[in-house]
Structure formats: structure tokens, C-alpha cells
Amino acid sequence: MKKLLFMVLAILVVCGGLYLGADQLEKAQGITGENSLNLYNWGDYIDPELITKFEEETGYRVTYETFDSNEAMYTKIEQGGTNYDLAVPSEYMIERMIDENLLIELDQSKIKGLNNIDAQFLDQPFDPDNQYSIPYFWGTLGIIYNDKFVDEDAIQHWDDLWNSSLKNKVMLIDGAREIIGLALDSEGHSLNSKDDEQLAAAAKKLDSLTPNVKAIVADEIKMYMIQEEASVAVTFSGEASEMLWENENLHYVIPSEGSNLWFDNFVIPKTAKNFDAAYAFINFMLEPENAAQNAEYVGYSTPNKTALELLPSEITEDEQFYPNEETMKNLEVYEDLGSEYIGIYNDYFLEFKMHRK
């Protein structure tokens, strides 16, 4: 009994010590309810130095919390019980959150520096007039290949994926919109097509891709490509930039005939507490030098056109991540298809996945 009591006391003392330690740390960071900003972002999706800089400039203290998928973030915000002042969902999730009334309408008069953003990234179908969201990063869907196994000229278009020399070499990302979309693009249609004939043709075309498909996977693509287990993969530019970083034999191509354009945007959830801090942070990130620094750290493409001038030319002239106008013109953002057509896309994709070689 004495032993147990002693242990309980010891544990409580350690707990007290830990509590004081954590408290001191928090105090050292100066976080109080009044001046704090709760930022809910993807893991490692901002340069930590920028947070320090923001804190020094404005006096606000940033609490940085992270999520790993749009769906996870959506659940947390939708259920309430949290007060994130700023979140960074992708475009389809923004549309859904607007529909479900989870976001506040932005007060445009409080946002400074929106004119730094390239006009082609504003006023997108998922958020007309940017009433709810401000672009943070953007990217594309494309093909990544390893020049050890595949020639540069051999992979420039979606159709090249069908080349018989790529038998059992192609990895696809596990997403219905992405894969059906690339088939539609290869046929010259819109990837938001709601035309039954076009969709059926695309699905049929996909079936003939089956012999070339090595696997349909998600995040694992990164590892497989870096370790050279596959020679070609279809994936997002953000993922690709990380792969390129790790393996210099890899290259990323955005097919000029068209592809998907994706966004991660700042939004202010309805549950936010500190609106001033949220606006201050948006404005801070809209400043060209901050956007440039962030783009360099994260490696994704910034929508801030003034920031581009501050970035080293080897980044901005890299057509893998800042494609030329010709390609940009053909990029499309996913529109909400409505549940009927989402179902059709999913069914076709499922059939494709089940198709036997």
C-alpha cells in the first residue's frame, strides 16, 4: 500500500513538472486567447520562419495545427468543438464547405494584396469572385517518368501512356476524377464532361490501358518512383516536386492537351474566433516576398505573380511547375458534377479497376 501511494505521489509530481514545463513553453511563446491565431494547415505546408516573422510583425501568436487529408479537416470543422481561425482545404472541399454553410464570406475590404495574385487563379468555378477563399498554392495533374527507363520524347501526352512499350510499367493515382479525366482529356474532351457518350468512350479507352498498368495506388507512388520500382506514374505536381527532389532521374510533364488544375486556398471557418488575426495572416501571405519564401520552402507553385519575380529563375522557368501559357490555357478545375455524375465516374473507374488483363 505504501509503495502504491508513493508511486501515485511520484507520478503526480512528474505530472506537475510536465505541466509547468509545457506552461512555461506556452508562456514563452506568449499565447493568450486575445492575440492567438489558430491555423489549421496540411503537415509541413508552410515555412516555419514565416510564422516567426508574422508573429514578430503583428504581435499575434500562431498555433499551428495540422491535418493530413481534406476529409479529416472537414470532419473536425463540421463537428465544431474547435475554433480554427484559418484553414487550407482544396478546391472541391471548399465547394462542399460553402454549400454546407461552414465558411464565412470574406470581407474584401480587409484583404490587401489580392492584386498580386495572377488573375487566372481567381474567380474559379468552385468559388466565384473569391467570396470565400484566397489562393495559397496551386498545381496540376501530370505524368512523372524516370529517364533511365523512358525517353523524354516518349512521354509528352496522355496518349503516350497507351504505348505498348510501357507494358506493366505505369502507376496510376487512385482517384476516379483523375483517371477518367485523363482519358477524357486524351480524347480532347473536358474533364468535367457530363456527356454520356464521351464518358463511355473514355471508359472503353481506359480498358485498353489495362496491360500497361502496374498498380493503382495513392501516396505510395512517391516511394515507388523514388526507389525506381516503376518507370511512369500519373500523379499531382505537389507530390512530383518532392519526388524530383529525391531522385534526379525523374521528370514531370503536364500534357499540353489538358489536365486538372488544383488549388489549396485559405478559408475562414464559421467557428473562427479571431477574424482580425485571420485577415492579418492572409494579407501577410499575400505579400510577394513572403509568398516567394514560402514557395521556395514548400516547393509547390505559388499563385502570387509578383512573387514570381522574386523567385530564382530556375524555379519560375521550370515548365514542370510553371507551365507555359499554351498548357495553362487547357488546364481545368474540377467542377462539382452532382451526385448522379459522380456516381457514373465512380462506377466507370471501379469497372476499370476490376478489368482483367
Partner 1 sequence: MKKKRFKWSNLYLVFVFIVLYAPIAFLIFYSFNDGGTMNSFTGFTLDNYVAVFADTRLIGIVLDTLLIALLSSLLATTIGTFGAIGIYFLKKRKTRNAVLSFNNILLVSPDVIIGASFLILFTFIGFRLGFTSVLLSHVAFSIPIVVLMVLPKLQEMNDTMIKAARDLGANTWQVLTKVILPSITPGILAGYFMAFTYSLDDFAVTFFVTGNGFTTLAVEIYSRARQGVSLEINALSALMFVFALILVVGYYFIQQHNLTKKQKNKKRQHAEAVGMR
Please report, as ranges, the residues that interact with partner 1 according to CB under 8 A. 1, 3-4, 7-8, 11-12, 14-15, 18-19, 21-22, 25-26, 28-29, 31, 36, 38, 42-45, 63-68, 72, 75-76, 79-83, 219, 222, 226-227, 242, 246
Burial class (CB in 10 A: 0-12, 13-18, 19+), 171: buried
Which residue's CB is nearer to partner 1, number 76 or number 189? 76
Task: Give the contacts of 75 (CB within 8 A, at least 6 positions apart).
Answer: none
Min. distance of Cβ 345 from partner 1 in angstroms?
Answer: 25
Which residue's CB is nearer to partner 1, number 26 or number 317? 26
DSSP 275: H
Which residue's CB is nearer to partner 1, number 92 or number 162? 92
Burial class (CB in 10 A: 0-12, 13-18, 19+), 123: exposed
Which among 185, 157, 176 is positioned nearest to 260, based on CA atoms? Answer: 185
Min. distance of Cβ 245 from partner 1 in angstroms?
Answer: 9
Which residue's CB is nearer to partner 1, number 66 or number 156? 66
Min. distance of Cβ 317 from partner 1 in angstroms?
Answer: 25
Which residue's CB is nearer to partner 1, number 275 or number 341? 275
Contact between 160 and 154 under an 8 Å Cβ cutoff? The reply is: yes
Burial class (CB in 10 A: 0-12, 13-18, 19+), 304: buried
124 residue type, one letter:
Q
Buried b (16+ CB within 10 A) or exposed e, 187-208: eebebbbeeeebbebbbebbee
Min. distance of Cβ 22 from partner 1 in angstroms?
Answer: 4
Min. distance of Cβ 180 from partner 1 in angstroms?
Answer: 25
